[in-house]
Structure 1
Amino acid sequence: MAGYRKDEAQDWAWESLKGQWSTLVTPFNQDKSYDEEGMRRNIRHIHKLGTVGAGCTWAMGEFWSLTFDERCRVMDTVADESRGKILTGAHVTHTSTKDMIELAHRAETSGIDLLMVASPYMVAKTEDQVFEYVKLLADNTDMAIMFYNSPQFGFVMSPQGLKRLCQIPNVVGVKEASFNQQTSIETHLLIGKQSVISTPDEWIFHKANELGFQQQVMFANTSDWRFDTPECNRYVQFIDKATKGDLDTEFYNKYLKDLKALSDKWWGGTVKKYSGVLPASMCKYWGELMGMAGGGVRSPLIDLTDEEKETLKSELLPLIPTAEHTGSGSSRDHAVWLNEKSSRDTDFSGMMLLVSVQDMPEAIEADMGGADIIDVKNLQEALVGSGHPNLVDEARKKIPAEKHVSVTLGVVPNQAGTVAMAVRAAGMLNATSVKVGFCEADYETALDILTQSKEALYGYDTKLIGSLFADNLLFGGLEPRLMVKLARESGCDGFLIDTLTKDGRNLFDFIPENELRDIVMEGKSYGLSTALSGHLKLSDLDELARINPDIVGV
């Protein structure tokens, strides 16, 4: 918990509630149980976006569907994973005031930084009732409280009623989400100099410029993780500037307007379809397309249909932002780390050549022969294994610094700590990238191993490449068509699809050209580097040119 006393709550809020705050969904497993690891991944993801705070168990977090114990578990997870990274808020509204107070105490002991409370969504139909309800909470906690003014709770407070609430000492402000622009504007003008007022939509900044007030925090919405990627956080950049009084309309129109229009279309359409309910199902699926854990919604909410999902995916993928790159010669505007060590002045297809080596003479020959990436591996070890670290060290010293030297760990064991240690070694050896491959592993195991491997590379320039094998199903292994999803959810920088069989068949014998092209295009849309290998021959060049992966391995 942030270090402030009750009588310091308002000062703390002015100092701390700034920039972009995120609204977290509550991810579920297939059986609709709480997905704790998914929540942890989501927090790590939004931290990479530059988001400064996040709220859990809010309306978008389906708090009403969670048991008391689940709400506590979510708060514990969020506080633990966010500690030292971002600030946190927990929503504690409950029809039972006893449970509301107990949730507040649990939030405080967990390390949550502030509380959010709304009208108790049953019985309360007057502003006096809501005031007494909020005051009861405030009297029983020292934590800062933001009031959530939303029709989702069955009652909307007037600006005058909100002013009265904010006179309670530790009620520090309002998330004014009434969806009534006049109410939002009047609230800002009436109490915006005494309390932190936030309307969670960008239109408020234009009104602020026009009417002379300022909103210092976007508290809170889902737009950061629905509009941004870790490689390209334009929404967070826009909010950071706007909350400081610098409204960059040109930047917004250039980079965000189309995404916002698509969001408004789907948000409005889903709300209308379900008669005013917040579109958690739409946001969760949108988030999955951006690399977040979602897992569907709990009843009585209804998930998007397969047709709706396919339509949203087709409309969103072309708009997902990628980092701009201004280097000469290459048309690659994603996975720009590949360009940084490319010695080519021009590259008309964008494909780079990866050559596998097992000793230093092979490495020198590959370098002299024009390989873009020299990949150290050991083909004699099991299905495929890792080269000795001394070879990697020597290759990195003798191969020019502007060239890529990668490390293949091969088919790794289902032991996250062991693999993370090997990945860290690749980083310490200054490898450009390290590939981690899976055969006989289930999805969750592979995801855990890659996630921990990515954490092991913190502070190193080495990129993490996840790898699946096109012929995995022959070995009872993981479906290779899950590669993009696995790479995205684990935070990989790229992926490789290879083969294990040595009977003369190659990559195209297991996955046809059209499917490989779709996988590569989807990967590029997410900013991932894309690589294909697996007994490829000169006769495959036409197919490879049409697919156009970033890297072709031989």
Structure 2
Amino acid sequence: MKNFHGTGVALVTPFNADGSVDYQGLERLINHLVNGGIDYLVSLGTTGETATLSKEEKKKVWNFTAEINNGRLPLVAGIGGNNTQEIANEIKEFQNNSYSAVLSVSPYYNKPTQEGIYQHYKFLSELSAMPIMVYNVPGRTGSNITPETTCRLAHDFKNIIATKEASGSFEQFNQIMRDKPEDFLLISGDDPIALPMIAAGAVGVISVIGNALPKHLSEMINLCLEGKFAQALPLHLSLLEITRLAFIEGNPAGIKSALKQLNICDDVVRLPLVKASNNLNALIADQLKQLM
């Protein structure tokens, strides 16, 4: 469980100009994050534009990520969707011993009831050989996993080990912290509120902005986990504007703009997403200049 304390990063998937996966860019990104002090990597979460990758592409990205990482950091595989049986099959077929857990987003679009969400994760838990992290992001899925459902899953299934919480509700975070099993992990899914979430008991963050600024972010998170919030606060505040900019035209368009300006990978995204506007590129460049 200690593998997932600290700073995780949800990797972007770099693309070439023709839209194919840019494996050289992915290698540069992984090394950038390892050298930047990140604690673990999440391959093919939402930030990785997973919905636009084929099954074969996903398999290649997972394998390549494991190869380049070469055991340096723990790895988490993003395997989620809105077809329970299909996700279950994907988890069963997943064969890469380099990965320590699966991050699985709550089913989107279908808008299941809380009982439906519970039964979905129950189904996955009972056939998964790997620990599962629940991912609650109502802004993307159209439904919220309530604290009651989260804690019910945490108590009923030992291989459901964590929740990546991106509901933005501190009432919800507090209830999870109060009612969860002691060893169940609450992880922030939102960069801007990682500091106060850690103060409330979260063990870290799975970050987007960390793709570009791993040293800044990991230093801030480590200070928080040491209880040094007064020292962490200036770092937290310094990242707020670039984090805001990274999301205003959609994720990962903003963070890919930053990565291009850092010469790590291009800013190509797959439709229906589009690149950041020229105006946003300029604003992100200004923030990077102030931070570097």
After TM superposition, the score normalised by the length of structure 1 is: 0.49
Q: Is the contact made by 2:267 and 2:275 (CA closer than 8 Å) also made in structure 1? A: no
Q: 1:154 corresponds to which residue? A: 142
More helix by share: 2
Report the Cα offset of residue 192 of structure 1: 6.3
Closer/same/farther in 2, CA of residues 199 and 251 from structure 1, 3 Å limit:
closer
Q: Distance in 1 between matches of 2:55 and 2:247?
A: 31
Question: Residues 6-405 of structure 1 correspond to what in structure 2 (within 5 A)?
Answer: 13=1, 15-109=2-96, 111-151=98-138, 152-166=140-154, 167-191=156-180, 193-200=182-189, 201=191, 203-206=193-196, 209=199, 213-218=200-205, 220-228=206-214, 233-244=215-226, 246-253=227-234, 255-264=235-244, 266-267=245-246, 269-270=248-249, 278-313=250-285, 315-321=286-292
What letter matches 2:209 in structure 1? S
Q: Distance in 2 between matches of 1:94 and 1:216?
A: 25
**Aligned-partner SS, 2:143:** coil
**Aligned-partner SS, 2:99:** coil
Q: Distance in 2 between matches of 1:269 and 1:204?
A: 19
State the structure with more CA Rg: 1
Task: Answer 1 or 2: higher relative contact order, Cα 8 Å, separation at least 6.
Answer: 2
**Aligned-partner SS, 1:115:** strand
Report the Cα offset of residue 16 of structure 1: 2.1
Aligned length: 289
Q: Is the contact made by 2:11 and 2:211 (CA closer than 8 Å) also made in structure 1? A: no
Report the Cα offset of residue 122 of structure 1: 3.5
What letter matches 2:242 in structure 1? L
Question: Residues 450-469 of structure 1 correspond to what in structure 2 (within 5 A)?
Answer: none
Q: Is the contact made by 2:108 and 2:143 (CA closer than 8 Å) also made in structure 1? A: yes
**Aligned-partner SS, 1:173:** strand
Q: Is the contact made by 1:147 and 1:171 (CA closer than 8 Å) also made in structure 2? A: yes
Q: Distance in 2 between matches of 1:173 and 1:257?
A: 27
Can you give the 5+ residue segments of structure 2 that lack an aligned partner in the other structure?
none
Q: Is the contact made by 1:259 and 1:319 (CA closer than 8 Å) also made in structure 2? A: no
What letter matches 2:274 in structure 1? I
Closer/same/farther in 2, CA of residues 36 and 80 from structure 1, 3 Å limit:
same
Q: Is the contact made by 1:173 and 1:197 (CA closer than 8 Å) also made in structure 2? A: yes
After TM superposition, the score normalised by the length of structure 2 is: 0.90
Q: Distance in 1 between matches of 2:291 and 2:246?
A: 17
Can you give the 5+ residue segments of structure 1 that lack an aligned partner in the other structure?
1-12, 271-277, 322-554
Q: Distance in 1 between matches of 2:241 and 2:225?
A: 21
Report the Cα offset of residue 161 of structure 1: 0.9
Q: Indicate the percent of aligned positions where both proteins have the same amino acid.
A: 19
Report the Cα offset of residue 163 of structure 1: 0.7
Q: Is the contact made by 1:21 and 1:52 (CA closer than 8 Å) also made in structure 2? A: yes
Q: Distance in 1 between matches of 2:225 and 2:20?
A: 37
What letter matches 2:99 in structure 1? I
Q: Is the contact made by 2:198 and 2:225 (CA closer than 8 Å) also made in structure 1? A: no
Closer/same/farther in 2, CA of residues 304 and 185 from structure 1, 3 Å limit:
same
Q: Distance in 1 between matches of 2:90 and 2:242?
A: 36
Report the Cα offset of residue 172 of structure 1: 0.5
Q: Is the contact made by 2:247 and 2:254 (CA closer than 8 Å) also made in structure 1? A: no
Q: Is the contact made by 1:119 and 1:154 (CA closer than 8 Å) also made in structure 2? A: no
Q: Which whole-Å deviations, capped at 9, do the CAs of 1:83-136 have from their partners, x for residues lacking one?
A: 321111111113333431333234443521110112221324201111111111
Q: Is the contact made by 1:108 and 1:143 (CA closer than 8 Å) also made in structure 2? A: no
Q: Distance in 2 between matches of 1:208 and 1:311?
A: 29
